[in-house]
Structure 1
Amino acid sequence: MKKIYFLIALMISFTSYGQDMVITGAFDGPLPGGTPKLVEIYVINDIADLSTFGLGSANNGGGTDGQELTFTGSATAGDFIYAAYEGAGGSANPGSTNAYFGITPDYIDGALSINGDDAIELFSGGAVIDTFGTIDCDPNASGTTCPEWEHTDGWAYRNNSTGPDGSTFVLGSWSFSGPNAVDGCTTNAGCASVFPIGTFTYGGTPCGISLGAATYDCGGEGQIGDNNDAVTINIPYTGVDDTVVVSLTSGGTLGGSDPAVDTDGTISITDLMEGDAWGIEILTGNCTGTSLSGTVPADECDPEPNTCVDISGEDLFESVTVTPNTDMDEWTYSGGTYTMNGYCGGGCVESVETWLILGPLDISSITSDLTLAFTAAESFGDTDLLVNYTTTYPGCPSDATWTTLQTINPLTPDSSPFDVEVDLFAIDASEIFIGIQYVDDGVDGYSGWSLSNVAINAFGDCAVLGQQAPSSCVTCELVLGEDTVTCDDNTENVDTYTATLAFTGGGNDAYQIQTNPMVSNTGDDPSSVASGIMEFQGIPEGTDIIINIVDQGGVCNLERTITSPTCNPPLNCPNPGDIIITEIMYDPDAVGDSVGEFFEVYNATGAAIDMIGWVISDLGSNSFEVEGSVSVAANSYAIFAKNGDSGANGGITADYVFGSGMSLSNSDDEIILSCDGTVIDQVNYGSINGFPDPTGASIEFNAAFLRNNTDNDDGSNWAPATVPYGAGDLGTPGAANTLSNDSFDVDSFKVYPNPNATGILNIATSNNQKLQIAVFDLLGKQVINQTIANNRLNVSQLQGGIYVLKITQGSNTVSKKLIIE
């Protein structure tokens, strides 16, 4: 029988689409939430099926994340494809791409949530065909060695007729606006720095041919065995291109159609065997670099086997449970498929062992290949399957001596089915039993498995299935249920607690209960009652209790570890606003985010406040509990840091280290201080809320604006720090903020008109000393620095917006919000 199979993707390296599209632009927007973020793709050749192409981003030099967005539909040469990000959650800004550019993007996807220092990869058939930026290097990191392609709040655009460049970024193929070039802009047409959207042109000649999927031709039915049959590889193509020359990159003989002459033909490679590698490459012309390669499977031409035993239809496995769990999970059969999942509910960690048994199987007459074949699918990835055999089966799997033939692991990360073949021919026995074992202690979770198309196959004489005798296993009937813990007292000292453990299936045997530490069961006894609750008292706080239960016959051997509770005294919570957030460092530059992030809190009362037991979180999944004492003195600060080593974290002295419990986003995020369920303070920072967005500087709350506990919700009351600390980043961790009002009364001067539309700002003070004036925008950039003696400041050069006005007179300094209309 002639056998022709399409190759699976794992066996092919295919780059014939390498010149079909190219990344031509990247834009980091100025609208709320840092939107829109846009990537432009130019289509070089007609593409009938875009589903083989897609995009991925590589953030902060962290390396590839692979393909994250897959295109759909088709495209024509000369088309532009636009993929955008318009924010999410509290920072969502839908329609921002249309508002800024007047276009509707083809795709809006979270994969495009990128900043001006992030890289972009363009994929075809899973391979990278073009790259913008260096995926494993951050141009903003301290000591960076990668090219300076950073374009935060700006854009980058490819030079005409360059690229695609594969996986290597070519800096010279791009033009850049520079950072902050579009700050303050609301439309592309009205911006001083115009993103040249849709202007790229490609002057090259596109490749005139497209290679298709290769097939194998065995020329008829082959022989049983590996690597022993001749194979011809046939590679179809469409189109014609008189500039191309096709060459072999492997052994064999090149033949068939010539794509330089013949339109829509088939290239062939002959004189190859099963197991041989093969490949072609176009060396010259418009299609240079296009290639296709693969390896012929070792058994490609083997004849189809006979089905000796159909285990998914006529003759079925027997399901046998050795160790049941609470849910009594076991292998079940329905419609040709066997399924098993040991998951017994949230928080449930129990041992489970269940088998599929087949036999006796007479293999004495087998003279050629014999296999157990099935299609498997697995989810959750924690439980391997063991395919075993034994020559003697006493009636229960736990009483047999098994030899493992194969361990089945999941082969695909997406739970898709895969085929399994287990060789039985090499077994030196005349009669065997087959057992597929599912066993797990549940510590790392459980897998869900399904097996279908299960059969015993042979190329010659068949194995014969004998009469199966029902299995009989003595199983442990005692089942452990829910456990609980209760503190006996709640003090600052080491308290004791009581643990309980429910059970069912008791009253049918004598059980011995052992615990570590040694405490007695003062509750129900599983030796005498069918169901109940065991109770263990006086366990020291901080010590987990391990409970082991065995029966006289050795069938039951159950163990449960119960975790100690924390028996803290009740929280003494202050009023909302007594502790406020005053400084946030979410994007350090001198050190990495993973070690340099911190935030500062301030005690606005006249008495110390201990934050032990408080929960600090965001609106997402980040959350941690303050487990030790953090006493914040009256009118003083405390620092919560990602890392406690001042030599590694940029020079911060931390009062509390939150580690992996929280990460501060570089875009929009929240910090919420809660005590016993009451929110004491919350700051939702991010550009969408008017907060500044610096790199290498913290953002600081200006205490001059403090009138009540909600004033730090207003982004205009925050400014970038300007004072260096430690390794060189800017901030004042644990000290008064850069723009704080520590020197004289805010009411000792008047600034008018404010808001200001006249271009002249009047500043009245109680004395006639000269005034040193500094004005900062919300990115921390100083835009005015003057000394005035006439109490009048010219602000006509400032664009409309919110600024911080810093006034120094003698040794006194004060800051105030300034609004320019």
Structure 2
Amino acid sequence: MKKLYILTFLFLISIVSYGQSPIITMVVDGPCSGGNPKVVEIYADGAVDFALYSIQNQTNANTGDFGNTQDLSALGTVTDGFVYITTGGSADGIASDFPTIDAGTTLESNTVNINGDDRIRLILNSDLSVVDQFGVSDTDGSGSTWEYLDSYAKRVDGTGPDGAFIEANWTFGGANTLDGLGICSGGTVNVETEVGGVGTYSTTGSTNPVLAITAPSDGAEFAPGTTEVTMSVITQNFVVANPGMGDGHIHWQLNTVMQPMKYDLDDVVIPVTDGETYTVYMELVDDSHTPIAPAVNQTITFSVASGTTVADIAALRADVETNGAGGYYTISGGVTVTHTDGYQNRHWIQDSNIAGVLIYDADDVLTTYSEGDNISGLQGTTLISNGVLRFIPTADSATLNGNAMVSPQLVTIAELNANPDDYESELIQVANVTFVDGDGVATFSTGSNYDLTDGTNTLVKRTEFFGADYIDTVIPSTELPLVAGVAGEFNGTAQIYVRSMSDLTLSVNAVTATQFSVYPNPTSLGYVNIKSNSASMMSVQIFDILGKLVKDANTTNNTISLSNINSGIYILKVEQDGNSITKKLVIK
């Protein structure tokens, strides 16, 4: 749809002219310990009642809605002045390195506990509309021109507020510019001086022409299957029009090929193909087609990714381990939903090779499925957050094949703690465990950690699901034969996410961990030990991830040779006395 950028631009100019709007004018990620001091400077253009506004952030590689909303009412009403938002941990750094910042115009908030790749914005409380924004939405700023890690960014005089980030309206110190600088780092010059001072922004801006390609962002990568990309452009202090009607027009190239000259600011739709990279160059010219002096131009590059088709989650994880996160995939095989959660439309899925992954669907791209649904054809990209691999859908492409419940695999706490990545997002259960906090009085709370122990080892049980039916119920005080849930982790520390009360089993007829033990697992010794409390014969089968039987043996508390089996992930099935267990076996 055509966007009326001339009208939008005039509206923005009117905001600056008549004031009464907050404008983000500086962002600092300091060089002190912990990236402190962290400072966001906001200018009140006119009489601004900050009770009308809030600040939000969007961190790391996260996509979807901004969050961590901080109401700015505490700043009161400010007229033509600067206010500052910082963190509680920045107090010492502010004192030493920003001596002219007035505590009376400063608000502490964890919303600005941001890193040099995060985004922030101001919103109007009444309708949640974006008033001003720094950073490209849904984009990790690492490696971008606007990255401010151990650095800073300052707004160009006379620009803003911008409802969408306009890079041309900012100057950037460059990543790591402040490393080792500042009083807090043992220097002799404070950070305030290094960044050129505070409160330096002026609403009186330059009259020089400006050209800005506002979409797509430089370096943007689009999902496979994208067939067209819409390019948007704005100008300032330069009227784009037909000859004799304005200041000139725009010459532009796509991959060095000249395109039809632009005599307006209408969007341009560019046809694109998977696996291709596109470079756009634009410049302002006068009516005689001569570039204006000094030259005003911009170059951006964007691409469309190629997708990789994998048979299942095990293959997906193997590819991510080899090539890193960020690729685009189609999971062609069937996977089964083991749990769903209303928060960010999360689904945990698992394949027949006992490999699992978390679907993190903050944009609600995917149909909401139910526990037990078997689906195939998922399409999405990957990222790692707090050590957990996320699959982020890019299309609602999955097909529902049927419904079948998944049985949790039995693991020991020792195995899980030693190898959290091997079980991550899989449905598991641990046996003969006790809650350390189970005193008959304490109850489960949301978003909390509780220790489970088998008497020797301890596992973190996380109340990850705020709607779980056991929230506010008494923590069991007796030993539980089985506790099931989704295997999680937090930066390398294993966790278990109990889904519901039924996962906290009080009695069991199944084989427990004390009856079977498999060790070492993972193994690089050429064998694995399988022990049982029973002296009867055990049937042992090992399958590869394609379901092919690679080992079939019988044993009574014996060692199983793996000498003829290649390194990889396998499924181990053990049967004895009518009972059976299935476990993942990792051969290194």
Output the TM-score relative to the length of structure 2. Answer: 0.33
Output the TM-score relative to the length of structure 1. Answer: 0.26
Relative to its length, the structure with more helix (as a share) is 2
